[in-house]
Amino acid sequence: MDEGVATWPAQEQAAAIKAGKLSSRDLLECYVDRIERLDQDVNAVVTLNLERAREAAAAADELITLGANVGPLHGLPCTIKDAIETEGVRSTGGAKELAEHVPAHDAPAVARLKAAGAIVFGKTNLPKWSGDIQTYNELFGTTNNPWALDRITGGSSGGAAAAVAAGFTSFELGTDIGGSVRIPSHCCGVYGLKPTWGVISQRGYLDHTKGGTLDVDINVFGPIARSADDLDLLLTQLAGPDPDRAVAWRLELPLAEEHSLADLNVGVWFDDDAAFVDREYRAMLGNALDRLADAGTRVHDSHPNVEFVDQVAVFITLISGAIAPTLAEDVDDDAGIGPSHLQWLRGDMQRHDLRQEWHHWFEHHDLLLCPVMGTAAIPHDHEGSLFERTIDIDDETHSHLDLLSWLGFIGVLGLPAVVVPIGRTAAGLPVGMQIVAPWYHERRAIRAAQLMAPVLGGYQPPPGF
């Protein structure tokens, strides 16, 4: 078998398995071999579950031999971010407190992937409790970017994006509360989807020792893949209500109606005094926009009538409440952690007002294009906490938290966004762009990413992978 199959889009792999041109077992063993040979320097996959995966792959191949009707992900070996509970497989949240945690049940999103035929064979690295833009922890160490080992993969789904980029898995499932799917997709040159809040179940999310039982404000689960087609395929399998709500709730996401770039009417928000973008990345965003316009996209210098800094302030208030249980894990007295309930309610009311402004703007525009974070993947820096670290870019010093502005700004409203690769810097580091859609229109953002891929270049394997 040609090892190049490891970096095929998942949709192509699934079609080959169904046609009998590729076996699930061979694909699994290809990934295991690549992890053994190539992951020592990257450190993306931290737990393997091979005995059960091999049995499942053999059974998947037998069904193909018998001509059985199989699911859309049939036989695809995949890994799952270690913040998501996976039945029978160590799932730690990157924390020593859960070092021996082996869930008895799958998170609903994992169960949906398995029901569609996917075979989970491992878990990928993350920062402790998914709480950093870098991927490292005391249990498993640091994950390095396959494009440049001295650079971050992004966080918190950094092991997930690195595994997809390096060809260690067919696809991944990550989480995103402050950019945790989008930052790693940007840093590793792959596609990532942050869906509308509530579209994909987030039960089973390990953000503290008693996590996984409730929905966390702003947080979502989302797929990471090597093509926009894969995002569409995976969204179809993942979207739906939590099991306890499925008795009464249904979800029917609108289909994308756009058939060409000329059908897209997009606004652009690349610059704001409250959010930095480095000079090289800004030039690349501008070049990508020019290429899209030349290909027929209708581009407008327009964005919602909101103050960037005010919307980020609402994000800070609301995420402070969302992550309060996580922060409380590391202190003896949790007094003063997170906003008061009244402060949170006031922030939620502000969010409602902002949503109305965005809704009005989306009545006249299909999508908004904006940066992912302010620069390409930065060097590793584990000194101090996320709240203390700084980095010098374009002769200015920025907090690591500044890198989250373009991400929390979108996430706080629950808007869907796709990260699409747009090229590589002079140093060879990939960068991406956010395609933001109205609520529940993730298929429109995905369709835009599909249409943009031939113009912008799409996924490319890192050298050596």
**Which CATH number covers residue 10?**
3.90.1300.10
- Under the banding of pLDDT at 50, 70 and 90, the label for residue 327 is confident
Asked if the model's pLDDT at residue 336 lies above 80, the reply is no
- CB-CB contact of 107 with 67 (8 Å): no
| Residue 139 maps to a domain | yes
| Residue 463 maps to a domain | no
Say what the pLDDT of residue 458 is: 97
C-alpha torsion angle, residues 241, 244, 247, 249 (rounded to 10)? -30
- Under the banding of pLDDT at 50, 70 and 90, the label for residue 331 is confident
- Under the banding of pLDDT at 50, 70 and 90, the label for residue 247 is very high
Asked if the model's pLDDT at residue 334 lies above 80, the reply is no
Say what the pLDDT of residue 329 is: 83
Catalytic residue among 81, 123, 128, 194: 81
Q: State the Cα–Cα distance between residues 289 and 181, nearest whole angstrom.
A: 23
Q: State the Cα–Cα distance between residues 48 and 292, nearest whole angstrom.
A: 41
The angle at the Cα of 368, spanning 261 to 166, to the nearest 5 degrees, equals 75
Q: What is the pLDDT of residues 155-211, one digit of tens each?
A: 999 999 999 999 999 999 999 999 999 999 999 999 999 999 999 999 999 999 999
Asked if the model's pLDDT at residue 143 lies above 90, the reply is yes
The angle at the Cα of 23, spanning 18 to 25, to the nearest 5 degrees, equals 135
Q: What is the pLDDT of residues 84-95, one digit of tens each?
A: 999 999 999 999
| Residue 462 maps to a domain | no
Note if 227 is an active site residue: no
Q: How far is CA 441 from CA 36, 196, 232, 255, in A?
A: 40, 8, 12, 8
- Average pLDDT, whole number, for the chain? 97
Say what the pLDDT of residue 252 is: 95
Lowest mean pLDDT among 179-183, 384-388, 417-421: 384-388
Number of domains in the chain: 1
| Residue 465 maps to a domain | no
| Residue 309 maps to a domain | yes
Q: State the Cα–Cα distance between residues 206 and 202, nearest whole angstrom.
A: 10
CA 106 from centre of chain: 19
CA proximity to 185, closest of 427, 432, 416: 432
- Mean pLDDT across 429-434: 98
Q: What is the pLDDT of residues 15-61, one digit of tens each?
A: 999 999 999 999 999 999 999 999 999 999 999 999 999 999 999 99
Say what the pLDDT of residue 353 is: 98
Say what the pLDDT of residue 1 is: 78
CA proximity to 231, closest of 173, 145, 291, 312: 173
- Under the banding of pLDDT at 50, 70 and 90, the label for residue 311 is very high
Beta bridge pairs of residue 432? 421
Any idea which residue has 């402050």 for tokens?
Answer: 178
Catalytic residue among 180, 185, 227, 405: 180
Say what the pLDDT of residue 169 is: 99
Sign of the C-alpha dihedral computed for residues 39, 449, 204 and 385 taken in this order: positive
**Residue 126 tokens, joined:** 């993350």
Three-class HEC string of the chain: CCHHHHHCCHHHHHHHHHCCCCCHHHHHHHHHHHHHHHHHHHCCEEEECHHHHHHHHHHHHHHHHCCCCCCCCCCCEEEEECCECCCCCCCCCCCHHHCCCCCCCCCHHHHHHHHCCCEEEEEECCCHHHCCCCCEECCCEECEECCEEEEECCCCCHHHHHHHHHCCCCCEEEEECCCCCHHHHHHHCCEEEECCCCCECCCCECCCCCCCCCCCCCCEEEEEECCHHHHHHHHHHHECCCCCCCCCCCCCCCCCCCCCHHHCEEEECCCECCECCCHHHHHHHHHHHHHHHHCCCEEECCCCCCCHHHHHHHHHHHHHHHCHHHHHCCCCCCCCCCCCHHHHHHHHHHHHHHHHHHHHHHCCCCEEEEECCCCCCCECCCCCCCCCCEEEECCEEEEHHHHHHHHHHHHCCCCCEEEEEEEECCCCCEEEEEEECCCCCHHHHHHHHHHHHHHHCCCCCCCCC
Note if 156 is an active site residue: yes
| Residue 389 maps to a domain | yes
Lowest mean pLDDT among 200-209, 353-362, 394-403: 394-403
- Mean pLDDT across 431-454: 98
- CB-CB contact of 149 with 429 (8 Å): no
pTM of the predicted model as reported, rounded to 2 decimal places: 0.98
Catalytic residue among 23, 24, 130, 156: 156
Sign of the C-alpha dihedral computed for residues 104, 109, 112 and 113 taken in this order: negative
Say what the pLDDT of residue 205 is: 98
Say what the pLDDT of residue 258 is: 95
CA 208 from centre of chain: 20
Any idea which residue has 């035929």 for tokens?
Answer: 117
| Residue 36 maps to a domain | yes
Say what the pLDDT of residue 97 is: 97
Note if 128 is an active site residue: no
Asked if the model's pLDDT at residue 333 lies above 90, the reply is no
CA proximity to 446, closest of 181, 235, 270: 235
CA 100 from centre of chain: 26
Identify the domain containing residue 348 by its residue range. 3-456
- Mean pLDDT across 281-295: 98
- Mean pLDDT across 273-299: 97
Percent of residues, the chain, with pLDDT higher than 70: 99
Any idea which residue has 């996209």 for tokens?
Answer: 297
Asked if the model's pLDDT at residue 438 lies above 90, the reply is yes
Q: Which residue has the higher pLDDT, 120 or 337?
A: 120
Asked if the model's pLDDT at residue 330 lies above 80, the reply is no
Phi, psi of 432 (to 5 degrees): -130, -175
Phi, psi of 226 (to 5 degrees): -100, 5
| Residue 150 maps to a domain | yes
